[in-house]
Structures are given as C-alpha cells and as structure tokens.
Amino acid sequence: MLEIEDLTVEFGTVARPFRAVDTVSFGVAEGEVVGIVGESGSGKSVSSLAVMGLVDYPGRVSATRIGFAGNDLKALSNRERRHIVGKDIAMIFQEPMTSLNPCYTVGFQIMEALRIHIGGTRRSRRERTVELLAQVGIPDPGARISNFPHQLSGGMNQRVMIAMAIACNPRLLIADEPTTALDVTIQAQIMELLISLQREHGMALLLITHDLAVVAEVAQRVVIMYAGQVVETGPIPEIFQSPRHPYTAALLDALPERAKAHEPLNTIPGVVPGPFDRPQGCLLSPRCRFATDHCHATQPAFGGTPDRRVRCHTPLGHDGLPT
Amino acid sequence: MSAFIVRRLLLIIPTFIGVSLLAFTLIHLIPGDPIDLIAGERSVSDERRAALEIQFGLDKSLPEQYLVYMTNVLRGDLGQSIVTRTGVLGEFFARFPATIELSILAMLFAIVVGLPLGILAGVRRGSTVDHVTMGVALTGYSMPIFWWALLLIFLSSVTLGWTPVSGRISLLYFFDQVTGFMLIDALLSGQRGAFASALHHLVLPAIVLGTIPLAVIARMTRSAMIEVLSDDYIRTARAKGVSPFGVVGIHALRNALIPVVTVIGLQVGILLAGAILTETIFAWPGIGKWMVDSITRRDYPVIQGGILLIASTVILVNLTVDVLYGVINPRIRHAD
C-alpha cells in the first residue's frame, strides 16, 4: 500500500548538502505492522515526515516514487495531498505534551480533523469525538472533551493524539516513537492500545522506534536504518534468527535479553557519522568488525530479494560470519 | 480566573502609590516657589505670603503635604489649576475624550496594519516581503515623532492638499459636545459632512501617533510567529491535513498573539507619551497638549494631577490587557 523508492532528504546548502535520508526504499502492506529501527539521527523520523509532506525548507525531498494506495504522493499538489494526509495516513509523535496546541481544547483538536476530512454536523462530530476518546481509554470522555492539553497527563495526551489520528479511520498510522516520552508503565499501555486499535481497524502501522524488543513483539517486518540509509529489511523471525547486515547483528547482540548473565552488554564501538565525517565507502565501515578495504572504499548497493534486502558487500551467513 | 483578576487588582495599589510618590517628588524637585508663581509680577507682603502658604498647605512638611494631597485625591479632589482656577479633574475629563479618540484611532491603525504585516513577514521569513516590512518597521520606530509629523504635514497637507493641517473638525461645523468624542458628536449633530470632516482631521495625527506602535507590533508579531511556527503542535496540525491558511490563522496566530497582546498593552503608555508631541503639533486639544501648556505655565497642580491621571489610565489599560491575556491563554486562566 505504501511504497517508497529511493527517498532522499537533504539539508544544508546545495553545494554542500547533508543527506539525512539517503535513497531509502521500503514498503508497508495493507494491515501490516512494520517497525523502523535505528539510532537517533538515523533518519527514521525524517523519512516518515517526508512521506507526510512535512519536511520544510531548507530540507529538500526527492524520490523515484512515494506510492500510497494507487497515488504517487510526490506527483500530487499540496491541496490533493492534504486530502490523503490526516485522513488515510495519520501520524502521532514523540512528545504528546507539546504536540497538542495549548490554546485549544482536546475536543476542538479532534473535531478539527473530522471537520476537515469527514464534515457532518457539529453535533455528530462531537458525538464521534466522545466515542473516540472512549475508544482510546480516556475515562469520562464527555467531560475530558473540553479539557485543555495542560490539564491532562502525558499518557492521556498521547491517547488524545491517537484518538485524533484514528478519527478518520486511516489506512496507515505512522507512530514516531510514541512511547519514548512516557513513563515505563504508561509505555506498555499505549503500545497495547495502538496494537489493539490496529487489529480492530485493520489499519497498517508504521512504528518508528529504537527499541528492537518492542518491534519483535508487535511487528511483522522491520526496516533497520543507519546514518540515513536502510541497511536491512525483512520479516521479523528471519531478521532475528539470522541477521545479514553486521549492524543488525550488532544491534541484536546489544539487546539485554540476549546478554549472558553477569557479563557486560555488548556495545557497538564508535558513533554514527555526522554531517562532516561521513566515510567514503560503507557508512558502517569505521565501526564494522568485518570491514575490508573494499568496504572502506566503495558504498555497497542495496541488494537481496524484494522480501529480504541488505546493504552490504559481504552479508552475513547463518553462521554469523561474512559470506 | 476571578482569583487572577483579584490578584491583579490588588497589585494596582502599590503601583498607584509609587506613581503618586514619584509625581509628588518630581514636582517638588523643580526649582521655584509656587507662591511666587501665583503672585506673578506683583510683589507680596510677608503676611500675605504666609497666608497663602497656609491656604495651599505649603507650611506643612513634605510627608504631611503628600498625605494631605493623597487624602484629597482619594476623595476625588485633585486640586485647582493655578492659572484657570478650575478643578484639575474637570479639566482632565474635558480633554480626555479627544486624546482617547486619537489614541484609539492610532492603535487601530497600528494593529490593522502592523499585525498582518508581522504575520506575513513571519510566515515568509527571509523573503522580500519580510525584509521590506522589517526595514520599514525599523525606520518607523526610529523616526522622531515631531519630524515624522512635520514630514507628513508637508507632504499630505501642504504639497498634496489631501488632509487638514490641524484641529479636530472644520470650522464650518459647529455643534454642542455631548460625549467629547468628535466622531460621535458629529454623528449626533446630524449635520451633513461633519463626520467625514472629523475623520478627515483624524487621519494624519492617527498615522503619526500609530507609527511607533505599528512598528513594534509588526516586529513582535513576526518574531512570535516564527517561534510558534516551529512548535510541535504546528506539525501536528499539518499532519492532520489543516490548510496552510488554517495552520497560520487558527493554530499559530492564537499562540503568537499572547506576547503581542502584552506588547499592545505596553504601547498604550508609549501612545500617551507620543500624544504629547502629536497633539502639540496638530493643535489637538487633548491631555497631551494640556500637559505641555501646563508645564510652560508652571501650573503645578495640573502637572501633578495630570501625571497621576495619565498613569492611572496606563495602569487600567495594563490590567485589561492582563485579563485579556488570560482569555487568550488557557494556561494562565487555569493557573489558580
């Protein structure tokens, strides 16, 4: 349903551009849960903002195709795009406390989405909003509807954001680290809510996170990003059983669940390259323990089968060693 | 909200005491003896001088004089003008409507022009519109009022003959003042063309007086707009599919207005200060001109009372602005 091909987002000057997102390609099928995993600054959020058309000047978006349900979002005018964005594709963000407008009631902000995309009478919108608030587990929705965001907790505000996102029954919900800013106990509740809503409505869910464990639990497929590039994509069981990219393997090794008792957790040495110290060859080469001279010199292509793609000169085999 | 208003009302008391103390001390810092002034060219005998001192309470110590003055003020007695021998309060209210009328028009001009310009400059940051608007705003802000007024009079009144040079209405019209507001009185008089003439006379002074507030409002709106537009909820609104017009007009503007309203309130003080120059240049019979005339005549009770009344006006306007602030910003409203 969502097909992204060679999506690139550049910041900085034309003469010295910085690629925050570098020829990213992946897809999300109808009703599927896909996780995008990567460190901070790996381009996870920017790619999804680009899909929504929310990358602003000085950011430059280019792509061969951003297909959604038969439309090419790249080819649509802004006006046409707004009929899809917010209705068929909705998005929730990391910081629920700042993502809602402090000057309007939560009810107004949900009803606004309904007014733009669905229409109907003021009364029907209000009824639907109360219904939505109840659906996302907000107690006493009839009263909460006239609350301002600052009167609600972070978890409640994130529920409001979710209610707003699902108001028009979207076919795809993009959740950009929806639980990062919340308490640990609330995190699980919000995640459960998202998954149950996804199943109920049969909508696709694109879950952006840096938590592989969460992705393993809820997603069918995963997209691993590093320094603006997709390094590996594939179905969850396969990726977890035999990662083909050294970065994926290193991420999995760093999971506390996989650590041996009384031993320090595995870490990946070094840091993600910044705008000014990008290596010439494979972006992971300075941190990769399998890197060869070839890796340091030339960038690998994004190869493999459509179902299981990997960006590596020497993808790992089932034994965890380069082929 | 009501607790917020009560708290703000209580804050008025110390402010008012401060202003009155300042006005009182300043007057007494000015060299010269009021009795000499009352006497004028005539020489007065020592007995007459002593009698006058007792009559005006000048024989008492300064703190005592202040207390007596403030007691009278609280009773609504601001003393008498030395020159005209009429009550200060009455003189003030006879002239106040002219100043209010001018200030309201000036503020309207500043808001109606400044706000949209600021929004446009903020939304199109870095564009030609932005640079031109901010350049003009800076020029307007830096222009001395009297110079700007004379330039405009020269251009619009003398060269082009578009606007009258001074006064509130053409001499052709004569009617009783009912409200003191020339525009309203002109309408009430039912005389043809009176309203148009009054408005015609207001245009130039209002533009002159409104220029600095306009510049300040435009600049403040621009920076508030730029800040607000980078907030997370703007991204949320756009992700919802809100049109660019709705994003700016509904989501950004309301938040950007919070600092702008404060600035508009603060401009009222500047407006009254500017009125002194503007009214003098345009021979506008308001409190600005009244104060200038009183200062040249050394009419101490009028100066002192005038300062107190103008300061009270500013305090009241700022109170209104603070309440309005609560209306716009729900976080203030619920702060109790």
ipTM: 0.90
State how far residue A95 is from chain B, nearest Cα, in angstroms: 8
CA distances from A46 to A22, A179, B293 (A): 11, 18, 66
Cα(A57)–Cα(A74) distance, rounded to whole angstroms?
A: 16
Is pLDDT larger for residue A12 or for residue B230? B230
Of the listed ranges A91-100, B33-42, B72-81, B225-234, the least confidently predicted one is: B33-42
pLDDT digits (tens, 9 = 90+) for B169-209: 888 888 888 888 888 888 888 888 888 899 999 999 999 99
**What distance lies between CA A119 and its chain's CA centroid?**
29
Q: Which residue has the higher pLDDT, A263 or B22?
A: B22
- A210 pLDDT band, cuts 50/70/90, is confident
Give the pTM: 0.83
In the predicted structure, residue B336 carries a pLDDT above the cut 70: no
Give, as one character, the DSSP assignment of residue A189. Answer: H
pLDDT at B206: 95
* B233: nearest CB among A49, A100, A150: A100
Distance of residue B220 Cα from the nearest chain A Cα, in angstroms? 19
Q: Is B53 helix (H, G, I), strand (E, B) or coil?
A: helix
Q: What distance in Å separates the CA atoms of residue B76 and residue B308, rounded to the nearest whole number?
A: 12
Out of A73-82, A124-133, B130-139, B168-177, which region has the weakest mean confidence (pLDDT)?
B168-177
How many angstroms away from the CA of B329 is the closest CA of chain A? Answer: 6
Closest CB to B240 among A95, A148, A164: A164
Q: To which H or E segment does residue A25 belong?
A: strand A17-28
- Asked whether residue B4 carries a pLDDT value surpassing 80, the answer given is no
Report the C-alpha dihedral over residues B324, B326, B329, B330, rounded to 10 degrees: -140
Q: Does A116 contact B242 at a Cβ distance shorter than 8 Å?
A: yes
Tell whether A238 lies on the interface with B, counting CB pairs under 8 A.
no
Integer CA distances (angstroms), B303 to A293, A314, B20, B291, in order:
88, 90, 12, 6
Distance CA A21, CA A63 (A): 11
The verdict on A33 touching B (C-beta cutoff 8 Å) is no
pLDDT digits (tens, 9 = 90+) for A106-155: 999 999 999 999 988 999 999 999 999 999 999 999 999 999 999 999 99
**Cβ of residue A125 closer than 8 Å to a chain B Cβ:** no
pLDDT above 90 for B233: yes
pLDDT score of B335 = 65
**What Å distances lie between residue B24 and B11, B63, B92, CA to CA?**
21, 10, 18
Cα of A42 to nearest chain B Cα, Å: 20
Q: How many CB pairs under 8 A join A and B?
A: 77
Nearest to A92 by CA among B232, B107, B143: B232
**Is residue A98 less than 8 Å (CB to CB) from chain B?**
yes
Give the one of A93, A102, A117 whose C-beta lies nearest to B241's C-beta.
A117
Given a contact cutoff of 8 angstroms between Cβ atoms, the answer to whether A98 and B232 are in contact is: yes
Residue with tokens 């849960």: A33
Q: Which residues of B touch A82 (CB under 8 A)?
A: 241-243
Nearest CA in chain A to B330: A103
A161 touching B (Cβ < 8 Å): yes
Q: Residue B33 above 80 pLDDT?
A: no
Q: Which of A79, A98, A151 sits opposite B233 (nearest CB)?
A: A98
CB B56 within 8 A of CB B34: yes
Residues 6+ away with beta carbon under 8 Å from B8: B319, B322, B323
Confidence label for A321 from pLDDT (cuts 50, 70 and 90): confident
Q: What is the DSSP letter of A151?
A: G
Residue A272 has pLDDT above 90, yes or no: no
Q: Running DSSP on this structure, what letter comes out for residue A258?
A: G
Q: What's the rounded Cα separation, in Å, for the pair A273 and A269?
A: 12
Instruction: State phi, psi for A185 to the nearest 5 degrees.
Output: -65, -35
Question: What rounded mean pLDDT belongs to chain A?
Answer: 91
Which of B235, B240, B331 is closest, CB to CB, to A112?
B240
Report pLDDT digits (tens) over A140-149: 999 999 999 9
Cβ contact A99–B236 (<8 Å): yes
Q: Does A150 contact B334 at a Cβ distance shorter than 8 Å?
A: yes
What Cα–Cα distance (Å) separates residue A71 from each residue in A1, A33, A148, A173?
10, 21, 37, 17
Name which of A85-89, A245-249, B55-59, B97-101 the model is least confident about. Answer: B55-59
Does residue B270 or residue B33 have the better pLDDT? B270
Cβ-based neighbour number of residue A193 at 10 Å = 18
Nearest chain B residue to A51 by CA distance is B239
Q: How distant, in Å, are the alpha carbons of A71, A85, B17, B300 from that of A54?
A: 18, 10, 54, 64
The average confidence (pLDDT) of chain B is: 88
Stated length of chain B? 336
Q: Which residue of B has its CA nearest to A164?
A: B240
Residue A282: band (very low, low, confident or very high) from pLDDT cuts 50, 70, 90: very high
pLDDT in tens, A18-31: 889 989 999 999 99
Strand stretches in A210-270, DSSP E: 221-226, 229-235
Q: How many helices (H) and strands (E) does chain A have?
A: 12, 13
A113 and chain B: CB distance < 8 Å anywhere? yes
Looking at residue A56, the DSSP 8-state letter turns out to be: P
As a whole-number percent, the residues of chain A with pLDDT over 70 amount to 100
Tell me which of A87, A101, A152 to substitute to probe the interface with B (most B C-beta atoms closer than 10 Å).
A101
Chain A contact set for B240 (CB, 8 A):
86, 90, 112-113, 116, 164
DSSP for residue B251: I
Nearest chain A residue to B236, by CA: A99
Q: Is A276 left (phi over 0), alpha (psi -120 to 50) or beta?
A: alpha
Question: Best residue in B1, B124, B240 to probe A by mutation, most A CBs within 10 Å?
Answer: B240
Question: Any alpha helices (H) in A58-183, and if so which ranges?
Answer: 78-84, 96-99, 106-117, 122-135, 141-144, 154-166
pLDDT class of A265 with cuts at 50, 70, 90 = confident
pLDDT reported for residue B133 = 93
| pLDDT over threshold 80, residue A84 | yes
Cα separation, B46 vs B138, whole angstroms = 58
Nearest-CA distance A258 → chain B (Å): 36
B85: left (phi over 0), alpha (psi -120 to 50) or beta: left
Interface contact flag, B240 A161, Cβ < 8 Å: no
Find the residue in B nearest to A50 (Cα): B239
- Phi, psi values for residue B24, rounded to 5°: -65, -50
pLDDT of residue A305: 86
| Residues of chain B contacting residue A104, judged by C-beta atoms under 8 Å apart | 251, 254
3-state secondary structure of A54: coil
Taking contacts as CB-CB distances below 8 angstroms, the residues of chain A near B250 are 112
Token reading at B158 = 């003398």
User: What pLDDT is attached to residue B81?
Assistant: 86
**C-beta atoms of B240 and A113 within 8 A:** yes
Q: Is A161 within 8 Å of B236 when comparing Cβ atoms?
A: yes
A150-173: average pLDDT: 94
Render B183-218 in DSSP notation, one character per residue. HHHHHHHT-TTHHHHHHHHHHHHHHHHHHHHHHHHH
Contact state of A54 with B238 under an 8 Å Cβ cutoff: yes
- A151 interface with B at CB cutoff 8 Å: yes
Evaluate the omega torsion of the peptide bond into residue B259 and state whether it is cis, within 30 degrees of 0.
no
pLDDT value of position A206: 96
Please give the residue of chain A at the shortest CA–CA distance from B254: A103
Q: Specify the amino acid at residue A112.
A: E
